[in-house]
Amino acid sequence: MSDVDTGSARLEAEAEQERTLDRLEARMEALQLSLRTRRTSPRFALWRHDLRETRETWFRLVDPDGQDPTPEGS
């Protein structure tokens, strides 16, 4: 594989990761809105769990060795 192919593959992988992070961010925002506006919904616990998992995935992709600086339940 040439340097050009390697560089292209790396750029595509980085672009895909950015798209994934953008989708996860949008999902977190939607879940946070649902949690704020529909506290009495029977789905509240599910949304909260989904938000926690989505946030963990986002942080794992951004910094595989780091930790989520956001306290649980916020």
Dump pLDDT digits (tens) for 2-14.
777 888 899 999 9
- pTM of the predicted model as reported, rounded to 2 decimal places: 0.73
Q: How far is CA 16 from CA 32, 55, 67, in A?
A: 24, 18, 22
pLDDT at 63 (0 to 100): 85
24, with CB counted inside 10 A (0-12, 13-18, 19+), is middle
**Phi, psi angle pair for 38, to nearest 5°:** -130, 55
Name which residue leads in pLDDT, 64 or 29: 29
User: Residue 69 pLDDT more than 70?
Assistant: no
